[in-house]
Amino acid sequence: MDAPDPNLWRRFLALPMESRPKTILAAFVVSAVCAVLVSSATVILRPIQAANRAAEEEARVEALVRGIPGMSDLLTEVGGSLSTVVVDLERGRAAHDVTPSTLLATLADTSNWTSLDPSQDLAGLGARPDYAQVFLLRDNDRVSLLLLPIAGQGYNGRIEAVLAVRGDMNTIAGVTITRQSETPGLGGRIEEMAWQSSFPGRQIFDDEGTVRFSVARGSASSIHEVDGITGATRTSNAITQIVRFWLGPDGYGPLIAAISRGEF
């Protein structure tokens, strides 16, 4: 009788194809190789995917902006194209190390969020991202239009929107709702163009610099108000609080102040 081959690998290869050890090891090797390939592809493609998402978001926002009442005429009047920048919200300055393509990865780290206490949290966010991507239009060195993504808790769920502010940093140019789940026929009417068309020309701040914007309980009666939505008091209040939060000191307030001083 021949002595067993001392080489374990050759003994393994000599096993029948249907043998259990050979089947299990082959499945393990194939799984390991596939896992390595998938992980490598994910690492390699992640920057490309992030850049594509950023480009898609910019194109989507520009398309949305052109749907804001009067915005197409405004963009045509001012000329140029929208540019985008990631802002450090606390400083009101462009972020040094965060770009549109790296923003999502940055915000996946919970250390890049600021917890809000109830007195600050007008929009019902719980926590505010430390960085946000904004869009702007320049006339020479002056910002002539600023587009601010805003979000907060509505009556039935999260509301997201883009608010356009003119170069004086006090006059609303328009708004578009990008996400909402409010009650159809009531709060859901915030998506209607007829309601959104009441925003252009409204003033954000009073003479002391306090945010005074609000959704009225009925027809607007001041330069700071837009028309209310009948039967949707909670949604109307949510919009008021969302806008006030994001245009206040814990939101885009430092950025708006920097632009007003000509420092952005």
Structural domain total, the chain: 2
Residue 191 vs residues 134, 174, 177, 178, 179: alpha-carbon distances, Å: 21, 13, 6, 8, 9
177 shares a domain with 62: yes
179 shares a domain with 158: yes
20 shares a domain with 135: no
Give the pLDDT of residue 83: 83
116 shares a domain with 34: no
Give the pLDDT of residue 48: 66
37 pLDDT band, cuts 50/70/90, is confident
54 pLDDT band, cuts 50/70/90, is low
241 shares a domain with 161: yes
The answer to whether residue 3 sits within a structural domain is no
The answer to whether residue 121 sits within a structural domain is yes
50 pLDDT band, cuts 50/70/90, is low
The answer to whether residue 107 sits within a structural domain is yes
The answer to whether residue 2 sits within a structural domain is no
Token code pair at residue 42:
């994910």
Q: pLDDT (tens digit, 9 = 90+) per residue, 83-125?
A: 889 999 999 999 999 998 899 999 999 999 999 999 999 999 9
The answer to whether residue 118 sits within a structural domain is yes
| Amino acid, res. 123 | A
228 shares a domain with 165: yes
130 shares a domain with 256: yes
First to last CA, the chain: 88
Dihedral over Cα of 86, 65, 139, 243: its sign: negative
The answer to whether residue 65 sits within a structural domain is yes
- Count of Cβ atoms closer than 10 Å to residue 112 Cβ: 14
Query: Is the pLDDT score of 14 beyond 60?
Result: yes
Q: Which domain holds residue 130?
A: 56-260
70 shares a domain with 165: yes
40 shares a domain with 151: no
Helices (H) and strands (E) in the chain, counts: 7, 10
The answer to whether residue 1 sits within a structural domain is no
167 shares a domain with 66: yes
Give the pLDDT of residue 245: 97
Token code pair at residue 58:
């910019």
69 shares a domain with 24: no
137 pLDDT band, cuts 50/70/90, is confident
More confident residue, 30 or 147: 147
33 shares a domain with 113: no
The answer to whether residue 128 sits within a structural domain is yes
